[in-house]
Structure 1
Amino acid sequence: MVPDGGILRLTDDLRALTAAWERAPLVAAPYDDFADVFSVEAAERLLFGGLPLSAVRFFRDGEQVPRERAARGRETGGRNRERIVDGAKAVRQVAEGATLVVEDLQTYSAEVAAFAAAVARDTGYETDCTVFVTPARARGVARHADPVSVFLRQLSGAKRWRVSTPDGRRLLVDVVLKEGECLYIPRGFLHAGATADEGSVHLSVSVRTVTWGTVLRSLLTEAVAGPALTEPLPPAFAEVDRAEMFRERIALLTEALGGLRWSDVRPSSFRTADVPAPRVPGVLTAALAGPGGGPG
């Protein structure tokens, strides 16, 4: 049973999602209130709360806008400090037609981090979140395909999405996502979004799926580390039957792989980053008590 708080906030039908997984886009309508995770007001607080400039990007009509246009002026003695977003300048860029993108949102929001951790728990995949803020009558990022599967959860307003096959020859989805709706797009599928008469804020939830090829390559690397398979090939002048030796090694490799079980596979080893742990209220206070006072 999948617990509440993660994947069920992105879909209303787990069976439909399972059937579509990595095969086809899918529109869902979970319709729960998402304000406890993120909202327009939360985005505004971030912009005016000292957000690092490296965390944001801007796009207008498919082209990237220099983020420095939203940078706070350098302070005296701050030459080596990271630049900070000027909230007023960032809002002005949006008002002038640019889409604001805040990446690695779970780094700056405890609520988003907890949600991302729940999705990672439910899917078994590394998860990260990005928020897109697009004004009315605008097109931000150009049509593209992502190397990860994504869920686009509409938080406010509406946005029209067109999703095509990876080769771009066939349109699969043409939908206007409204607040509360969610669009799942498998990795590699081309997609583009645009707004009409109202602006849009949506959360992009990326899951870095792991392929069977990745799993098997890892197991193969371990299997060939045995003594019989690390033995070098015989020299060219040796009078041996190399074809027979090859068949023997293939048999040894097959035997090694055939003896493995799914329980021998460690999915966590294929993650490129640690899954963010949800914030536990009071954890810092407990840590201040010294050794033995904090969790674990």
Structure 2
Amino acid sequence: MTQQETRALQIAATKIRLGVIEGVYHAKSGHPGGALSSSDILAYLYFQEMRIDPQNPEWEDRDRFVLSKGHAAPGLYAALANRGYFPVEELGTLRHIGSRLQGHPDMKGIPGVDMSTGSLGQGVSAACGMAKAAKLMGKDYRVYALLGDGEIQEGQVWEAAMFAGHQKLDNLCLIVDNNGLQIDGNIEDICSPYPIDEKFAAFGFATINIDAHDYGQIADALAQARQTKDGPTAIIAKSTKGKGVSFMEGQASWHGTAPNEEQYRQAMGELQKLLEAYEGGR
């Protein structure tokens, strides 16, 4: 990956994070922590990896993305807006009455959303169905799904994993946002999913462990997933909850809390400063 490509991704991810904070602040509710931790993954998928066309969101041969942890919708919305699916200014209407940007993604109302999600564990099943459909129709599109590490405590995730492995869905790539925290605290203390990689491997997945904030590692993992045949891939992406906002990082309390005005100004200031540095080549 070139320095120019890395810089472009850093800019995209920072704009996504700005959109997350903008949305949850104006909504006075929402889930910033997991949206911020997955912003680099979303930036890479939407600005580098996936075959998509914002001018034709329902293009039949596009790659598909399912936000299985649907409460991280502010991150997905910010990625879609900055990629050109709808105006960035609309992010401020998050969760407002009359807005199409509700608390969880709606495929019927939001361009670029491939699956309505919210009930944890169900998105990965839908992603499996999409991947199987591609196989049946002889299509070469790929399907990506982002899961939370707390979400994978849901039994349906493993039913879907068993299906994906049995069906050898090598066009399916699951990405686990492993930020180590869920709404109630540390996932290890609540219901440990570790070792995540070995669990997916037991279901027939090729597994890759990466730093979720390292674009080189993200690029290599997704390239390896594309090259893997006869089975699906699970990328376990170690991340920092609240990444990019100093007082939110590593704090479970920011799983589903909106910033007040003072916190909003501090968060936006930190991210704007970071964006200026990236855009200035520093």
TM-score under structure 1 normalisation? 0.24
Ranked by relative contact order (alpha carbons within 8 Å, sequence separation 6 or more), the top structure is: 2
TM-score under structure 2 normalisation? 0.25
